[in-house]
Chain A
């Protein structure tokens, strides 16, 4: 189910809230409330492909058992390590099979073809990617790792753990929540009118961002990236649109997730902090997809030695590995790997300069603009279908493209006044220092009226949109 869909908004959510609060007001225990959230989450997740719920059950049971083995009284070191290894390997195996099997087999076939062994040496079966598998896998892995490290207590109740794994508000596109951040909330959480109001405010603002800003920007981005031979101006317009689409799409989802979480008494991590106001690439990664960055930092970067390594080259190598895997995490395509390495290059470069970009001495506005331009060049890699298209797109952006007459029709489509208005508005909002998350911390009448108006407008606008994807679902 998609948050910005008819079914979720007008049927699932109201019905869910009605039953959930009916249980709460009747004094039903928190474990049963969690049980209800879990069942609703299975419906939510199974809405895409019902049988993928079974995969979730397997993962839940596996990690629950691993957690119990790790934390069992008197468990030997071997038992603890073996249980952790089994959990991590099986989670990565599931992720690897569903997400990377076709990519690697395709690559292997291409390699064998170069050796003259035919174009399709191995028959590759088609594997359907379970929605949000990357988020889900990382989340459940964090539990066993935290228990193994002693950072979190093991779950005693299977219902509580199932709820943590399946929690629908952030199940599909994050933010990636860590067990130790919600462990207490799963057993004791407060349901207050203020918390609910704040939740509905940030949910409504997220909905507005998605429908009113991300979707129009996405229309422009999709149109431009499906074409070739466009002018330099159109290419920049196209990547600006994508830059805003991916931010508002993903940020909107995170806002809605945080809002839904608050409505249920949870508090999830903030996932974005005005990333397009970053002044360097290092700064960008402190503001973009914060839950993923902290996950990689805590579980990979620090495990590799982090900043406390003996040599600079080892530090750079750690950064390289983290960004390489971050790229691969996003998708099974060379474009995502290249995107990760592009960021790795700039992060390492800034690290050699004491985390400062080469344009550090420029005025603030220029630092922001130059960082933004670098990020946009990276987004080309992220959005392109293949490296060849990305290269051509870059060439067009710097004025080296070959214009085609067919692409002369693009401006009539992508500079439509409505789309121009939406994109410019989105660009302006992305630069504002206060965002939905900060707004929702104080519930005032003007803010609530604004948020509810956005929700109403987004609902009506949604009825006119056939184009309504959620980008991060594919990850």
Chain B
């Protein structure tokens, strides 16, 4: 039993052993304090790398999509979480619109049943479809145009904040008398797009009664939610801002991750799904998406860099003697083995470890994880077993984007929030994925650990020999090259 364990996990044991040996050598040559400091910052970066790389590796392993927009998801998560934390007005103003659009979109099965039997010639079908879809997009533009997105984004920046107790102010929302027509228009746009996707006149489709019933229920509840969100749109930001800063921060983590997941789902359904027959174009479309999202962010928030304040939990002045003392003092820094280390970064390490464990449990002990693992091995076989792989694709894309967004909002308090903040992480995540092997989540964990430590110790060495950190950053490519020369499929990748 024991021997079998070692044989199965030989690579893992070897890599961890290698890290341990290098660690001992480092400890002896560097001395305790520099070593601990460097190792801790390496773990922090590694945790962030893992959050970006795990989604990337799952998405690639399962559906062969190389997502070049993954770093953008990281960046978006940071922006949205920061926005929620500092001034949620913008998000709450946008929320009813998204809900209304969704409510319209999910009516697709109902509309399909209704319009299926229309007598339309085959040639006209396509024209109608295009025309209706274009009208829908036009209605969306009409609904959003004039919405004070830019103004709202501007107010978020002047939100006053004091150290330790971030106090943000909610700016005024558009009056309801003007606002209500936007969700209505969005709903109509959703209906139009659903009509287009329902392919009116195409009698080859099948509509199940259960689908229809579900669509009715979802549409109804989404409409109710829209109304609620519209009504509470003004008071909700104020209420959120009255929350304790820590609570708001954790809510921001959740909101950032959820927004990222939602966006991931939208991207998969609208952009990736039509292109499964043309894999090259999937890669290209994600590149285009990254380009568009970055520009959009720059339109909304200007191409400046912002700094998110740390939540009060991690920003009380002074130094905690040990981690237990931090729980009562909630200090800015913690003494770890004689090294003064920011407590927030320790939190990131904990978050990363939690994510590794949570993903491990999900992948190994849940039905979804089983399907994902099976799909990575052989997608066609899973499909043949009667599992709706397309839905799993959407879920995995959501999961990956959500994780990346979580990493983004987690990183926001200690790196500047700016439009290209995700690029460096995406690049390193690529390297992590290549090192770890495509589709292997444990490979991503080990790769992230390896690369994070390599970056930290590389920076240390670069500083010691008075070089710039850029050299250390560029040299991670060399690690990748070495691993690939030894094992072209990565450490834990499936052999081709």
Task: Please indicate whether A and B come from the same complex rather than being unrelated chains.
Answer: no
Interface residues of B (CB under 8 A from A): none
